[in-house]
Amino acid sequence: MFENLSGRLGGVVKTLRGNARLTEDNMKDALREVRMALLEADVALPAVKQFIADVKVRAEGQEVVGSLTPGQALIGVVYEELTKLMGAQNDALNLAAVPPAVILMAGLQGAGKTTTSGKLAKLLKETQKKKVLLVSTDVYRPAAIEQLKTLAGQLAVDWFPSDVSQKPVDIALAAIDHAKRHFYDVLIVDTAGRLAIDEAMMAEIKALHAAVNPVETLFVVDAMQGQDAVNVAQAFNQTLPLTGIVLTKMDGDSRGGAALSVRHVTGKPIKFLGTGEKLTGLEPFHPDRMASRVLG
Ligand code: GDP
């Protein structure tokens, strides 16, 4: 990912060598390269514009001290701004709640909600010794309910039964009740996804959110969606008080620009990256690592 950007920034260093101060003029070509690289990485235009503007403001007039070349100084600013844009540090899940801590999974169909629900259950069980319960409220697709049941079986995590004749809110409330009575630490609520955003779907998940009062509302988004991720993220962010983002399919050949775009449009922290179909493929997101990767 972003191989082009590191290549281009190598060029930036050369372009600016020998100048003692960063000026609008000597940064112009370099910033154009950064802009093009970000666009090629599928970062949405408004996010790119904002980023370039921030870098410009930060860098302009900056004196280049010590043994740094102006190019290195500019790369420093680009790196810092990129890290800042993606969040200053890794944000962990907030599970501080009277148990069960409810995690609501939101996103379009195919984004990876069900897979991520299973991955999260595994992670919380193994790394934090949490007692986790999984439930599906996808009453439109019996296959989705079965998929979660199968995952729960593979993971040896408990699963709360539901079926297509029930209402999503009723399922979730019954699962919370069950979780309370059986002392679960965490309840992960998987939700229905549609192929596109529609009002009925948004109203349903809003009602579900109000009913279950989750400590975490995670927006799951496919990194391969590139620029399209922006509109979907915007719609979910306007409907729900999202607490975090999971960017899935980072193992694919996407350029990863969705990370910057989704972050820009929601302002919410990316908490995890999905890195494979296997249930071990979930990693905490580290903005600084991502920035390093971006810059090579
Ligand atoms: P949902 O409709 O949002 O619940 O999406 P699913 O969890 O059913 O995932 C849709 C497809 O994406 C499935 O084939 C998953 O195996 C796949 N998938 C989910 N997360 C990842 C990931 O991080 N990497 C890859 N390569 N595939 C993933």
Cβ atoms 113, 107 nearer than 8 A: yes
Q: Is 242 annotated as a binding residue?
A: no
pLDDT band at 7 (very low <50, low <70, confident <90, very high): low
For residue 100, whether the previous peptide bond is cis, meaning omega lies within 30 degrees of 0, is: yes
pLDDT at 6: 56
Cβ atoms 289, 264 nearer than 8 A: no
Reported pTM: 0.91
**For residues 155 and 167, what is the distance between their CA atoms, to the nearest angstrom?**
26
Mutate to test the pocket of ligand 1, among 104, 115, 247 (most ligand atoms within 8 A of CB): 115
**Residue with CA at minimum distance from ligand 1 atom 14:** 277
Q: Is 122 annotated as a binding residue?
A: no
Gap from CA of 9 to ligand 1 centroid (Å): 34
Gap from CA of 107 to ligand 1 centroid (Å): 12
**For residues 235 and 270, what is the distance between their CA atoms, to the nearest angstrom?**
17
pLDDT band at 1 (very low <50, low <70, confident <90, very high): very low
**For residues 224 and 203, what is the distance between their CA atoms, to the nearest angstrom?**
26
List the one residue out of 272, 246, 230, 233 whose CA is nearest residue 112. 246
Gap from CA of 13 to ligand 1 centroid (Å): 40
Q: Is 249 annotated as a binding residue?
A: yes
Gap from CA of 224 to ligand 1 centroid (Å): 11
pLDDT at 72 over 80: no
**For residues 272 and 284, what is the distance between their CA atoms, to the nearest angstrom?**
4
DSSP 20: S
Greater confidence (186 vs 34) lies with 186
Mutate to test the pocket of ligand 1, among 277, 282, 283, 285 (most ligand atoms within 8 A of CB): 277
pLDDT at 236 over 70: yes
DSSP 269: P
Gap from CA of 160 to ligand 1 centroid (Å): 21
**For residues 163 and 175, what is the distance between their CA atoms, to the nearest angstrom?**
13
Pocket of ligand 1 (CB under 6 A): 107, 109-115, 193, 248-249, 251-252, 274-277, 281
Q: Is 293 annotated as a binding residue?
A: no
**Residue with CA at minimum distance from ligand 1 atom 20:** 112
What percent of the chain has a predicted confidence (pLDDT) above 90? Answer: 55
Gap from CA of 118 to ligand 1 centroid (Å): 11
102-111, 223-232, 239-248: segment of lowest average pLDDT? 223-232
Token output for 67: 């043994």
**For residues 214 and 219, what is the distance between their CA atoms, to the nearest angstrom?**
13
ipTM of the complex, rounded to two decimals:
0.99
Three-state DSSP state, 272: strand
**For residues 7 and 21, what is the distance between their CA atoms, to the nearest angstrom?**
23
Gap from CA of 28 to ligand 1 centroid (Å): 41
∠ at Cα 39 (234, 63), nearest 5°?
Answer: 105
pLDDT band at 40 (very low <50, low <70, confident <90, very high): confident
Three-state DSSP state, 175: helix
Q: Is 194 annotated as a binding residue?
A: yes
**Residue with CA at minimum distance from ligand 1 atom 12:** 112
Instruction: Calculate the CA 66 to chain-centre distance.
Output: 38
The beta-carbon contacts of 73-78 under 8 Å, at least 24 apart in sequence, are 73/22, 74/12, 74/16, 74/22, 74/27, 74/30, 75/9, 75/12, 75/13, 75/295, 77/22, 78/9, 78/34, 78/295
Amino acid at 66: G
Q: Which atom of ligand 1 is nearest to the CA of 111?
A: 3
Q: Is 108 annotated as a binding residue?
A: yes
Gap from CA of 110 to ligand 1 centroid (Å): 6
Cβ atoms 202, 117 nearer than 8 A: no
Q: Is 248 annotated as a binding residue?
A: yes
Query: How many residues are present in the chain?
Result: 296
pLDDT, tens digit, 9 for 90 and up, residues 115-124? 999 999 999 9
pLDDT, tens digit, 9 for 90 and up, residues 210-220? 999 999 999 99
Greater confidence (237 vs 7) lies with 237
